[in-house]
A and B are shown apart, each in its own frame.
Chain A
Amino acid sequence: MTAAAAMVRVEGLCKRFSVPRREAGLRAALRALVRREYRVVEAVRDLEFSLAPGERVGFLGPNGAGKTTTLKMLAGLIVPSAGRVEVAGFTPSDRRPEFLRRVSLVMGQKRQLSWDLPAIDNFEFNRVVYEIDPVHYKRRLEELTALLDVGEVMRRPVRQLSLGERMKCELVAALLHGPQVLFLDEPTIGLDVSMQLGIREFIRRYNAEHGATVILTSHYMEDVAALCPRILVIDGGRLRFDGSIEALRRQIRPLRRVSVRAAALPDDPTAMGRVVLREGGRLVLDVAPERVPEVVGALVALPEAQDLAVHDAPLEEVMRALFGREEAADLGGAIGHAR
C-alpha cells in the first residue's frame, strides 16, 4: 500500500503517561499528600502500521495492552508523546473540524446519547453539529433506522432502552454524518449473543456498502474473527502481530483439533497427535496439519465412529498461548508479513 493510498498511517507512535503511585496504608496516603511519586507508564511504544481505505481491522490484546490508547490517538482525543499519525490526510491531534467530520467513535462502555431524551432528539442535535443538510439527514436516518430496526425505539427516552437498543441508537448517532473512518471500542460489550450478531452484521454491511474503514477493539474474539480480515495484536504497548487470523493461528497454534466419538477408542492415540481429552467414548486430539487426512481416516474406521470434526484452535486459545509465551516478543519478526 502506498503512503498516499493509506487511510491511516502510523509511524513510531508512542504514548507515555505519568501515573501517581503510593504504597498501601494511611501513612503512605498522608505522605502522598505532601510529596507524590510518579511513575512513567509507556502505554504505546513505537507502533508502525497503515490501513487502506475500507479495511476492517481488529486490535487485539489483553487489558492494558494499549489498544484503546492507540484508538484514541487515532481519533485525536489523546496527543501522542512521539511519532506521527495521519488519518484521512489529517493529523488527528489538531482536531480540525474537517477531520472530525470524517471520523466517528463508538464506545461500548460510554454513551454519547442524552440519558433523559429520546434518541431522535440526539440525532437532531447531531444534524446541527455536523451541519448535515436536511435531505441527506432524512435519507441517512431512514437508511440507518431501517438497517438497525430502531424506528420505534428511537422515540423512547434512552434511559428506558435495553443495552442492545441503546447501542443500536449509539451507532445511528455515530454514523449519521457518514464518517470515512469508524472507531469501535468494545461495541458489543454486555450484549446478548443475538444482539452481538445483529451489531456485527450491521457493521459488516455498513462497511461493504459505504466503504468506511473500520477499526475495532473487542474482548469478544468472535467479534474480531467475524468482522476483521486483518488483526493487529498489541501487547505491552507494542505491535506484536499484523496479519490475518489464519496466519496468527498457523503461527501460534499450527495444530488442528480433531474430535470423534466412538464405541471403542484406540489404545495409544498419542501416535496420532497430542491428546487433549479422552473421556468415555470421546477423544480430542491436536494433530499436525499434514497428518490430518491420515488421522481422520483412522478415526473414521473406529467402531460406531460419529461426530467427527476438525477445527482450528479456538481464537481465545491462540491468544492465551500468544500472551503466555515467553518468546512472544519474537513475533515482531512477523509484523507486516503474515497475511
Chain B
Amino acid sequence: MNAADLSEGTDAKGRGPRLLFYLRLVAAQLAMSTLTALQYRLGFWTEGLLGLLWSVIGIAPLFVAVDHLGAVEGWGRWELVVLTGCFTMLSGLFTALLQPALRASMTHILKGTLDYVLLRPADGLVLCLTCAFQPWHLVEVLGGLALVVAGLSLGEAEVTATGLLAGLVTGAAGLMALYAFGVLVLCASFRALQLQALTHVMEALMDFGRWPAQVFPPLLRLLFTFVIPLLVMTSYPAEALLGRLSWGTVAQLAAVSATLLVLARLAWVRSVRGYTSASS
C-alpha cells in the first residue's frame, strides 16, 4: 500500500448522505458517553439513584401543592402542572445533554485537546455539542413528559391536534434557543478560559422558566423572550399545548430561535478561526 491508496476505504464513493453520517456520528458519541457511564458500576448506579432522587425532589412539592394552587395570572392549577412539565423536560434535556457537553468542550478548550475534536472530519460544533451525555438525567425528561400528559388530561383545557402541533413546534424552537444560548456560552469560553461556572449561571437562569410569561413585567418579558429566551423554552410551549397561542406568535418564536441559531453559528465560526490552541 502507498500514499495513493492510504485513504482507501474512506473515499467519497463509499460515503452516504451527510444527514445519515451525522445521525451515526451522534449515535456513536452518545454510545461513547453511555459506555463511559457503564465503565464504573458503582458510579453508574449512584448516578441513577441520584437522578431519580432529583426528579422526585423536583416534582414532589408540586403534588403536595397542587390541591392548594390557585390561579396565577390566568393559569389554573393543571395548566401550571403542564408548565412545570415543560420546564422539567427542558431542564432534564439540559442536564442530560447540553450541560455535560458544554463542560467537556470547555475542558477541551482549556487543556488544548480541542485540537483533536477540530481535526476530525465532521462539523466541530456538532462534535462539541454531543461529546458528553449523562443518560440518567433523561429520567427527568420522562418525569416532565408525565406531568405534561397529566396536566393536559386532568385540566379543563381542550387538547387539539393543532395545539399539540403548535406545542411541538414551539418546544422545538425552545430547544433550539437553548442550544443556541449554550453555543454562545461556549464561544465565550474561547476568549475567557475557566468559564465552566457559566453553565451554572445558565442553569440558575433557567429557573425563571418555571413561571408563566404573564407574571413578568413587560420589560423582563421582552428580555426573557428575545435576549435570553427562557420563555420560548418553557412558558410558550405550554401555552401552545393548551391551545392559547396563535400561529403568528408560534412563527415569531421560531424566528427568534432561528436568529439565535444563526448568531450562535457565526460566533462559533469566528471563535474557531481565532482558536490558538494550548501550547504543548
Contacts and interface: CB of A to CB of B under 8 A. Distances in A.
Interface of A: 7, 17, 53-54, 68, 72, 75-79, 93, 95, 97-98, 100-105, 107-112, 114, 116-117, 121-122, 124-125, 128-133, 135-137, 140, 157, 177-180, 185-186, 209-213
Given A78-B276, A133-B9, A110 B121 contact: no
Contacts of A103: 119
Given A128-B24, A129-B25, A210-B6, 18 more contacts: A17-B276, A54-B3, A72-B115, A77-B277, A79-B274, A100-B120, A101-B7, A105-B116, A116-B39, A121-B35, A125-B28, A128-B25, A131-B10, A131-B21, A133-B10, A178-B8, A180-B7, A209-B1
A48 to B, nearest CB: 23
A97 B122 CA distance: 6
Interface string B1-21: 111101111101011000001
Given A54-B3, A114-B36, A100 B119 contact: yes
B112 interface: yes
A124 B28 CA distance: 9
A125 B112 contact: no
Interface of B: 1-4, 6-10, 12, 14-15, 21, 24-25, 28-29, 31-32, 35-36, 39-40, 111-113, 115-116, 118-122, 124, 273-277, 279-280
A117 B3 contact: no
Contact of B280 (A100, A110, A114): A110
A219 B219 CA distance: 60
A12 B10 CA distance: 33
* Top 4 A-B residue pairs of the complex, sorted by shortest distance between their CB atoms: A136-B9, A97-B121, A178-B6, A100-B121
Contacts of A180: 3, 6-7
A105 B280 CA distance: 13
Contacts, number: 126
Contacts of A76: 118-119
Nearest to A96: B121
Contacts of B280: 68, 107-110, 185-186
Contacts of B119: 75-77, 100, 103-105
A136 B1 CA distance: 12
B1 A135 contact: no
A135 B21 CA distance: 18
Contacts of B7: 101-102, 177-180
A93 B124 CA distance: 13
Contact of B275 (A75, A78, A112, A128): A78
Contact of B8 (A54, A78, A136, A213): A136
Contact of A117 (B8, B39, B122, B274): B39
A93 B121 CA distance: 13
Contacts of A77: 115, 118-119, 275, 277
Given A100-B120, A102-B7, A210 B24 contact: no
B275 A210 contact: no
Contacts of B40: 116
B9 A110 contact: no
Contact of B36 (A108, A116, A130): A116
Q: Specify which of B10, B28, B112, B113 lies most central, judged by the most chain A CB atoms within 10 Å of its CB.
A: B10
B32 A130 contact: no
A211 B3 contact: yes
B197 to A, nearest CB: 18
A295 to B, nearest CB: 44
Contacts of A210: 1-3, 6
A53 to B, nearest CB: 5
B35 A117 contact: yes
A178 B3 CA distance: 9
A135 B28 contact: no
A104 to B, nearest CB: 7
B9 A137 contact: yes
A212 B6 contact: yes
Nearest to A103: B119
Nearest to B36: A116
A140 B5 CA distance: 13
A128 to B, nearest CB: 4
Contacts of B275: 77-78
A325 to B, nearest CB: 26
B10 A178 contact: yes
Given A136-B9, A178-B9, A186-B280, A110 B118 contact: no
A125 B111 CA distance: 21
9 contacts: A78-B277, A98-B121, A101-B10, A129-B120, A133-B14, A178-B1, A178-B6, A178-B7, A179-B7
A110 B3 contact: no
A221 B6 CA distance: 29
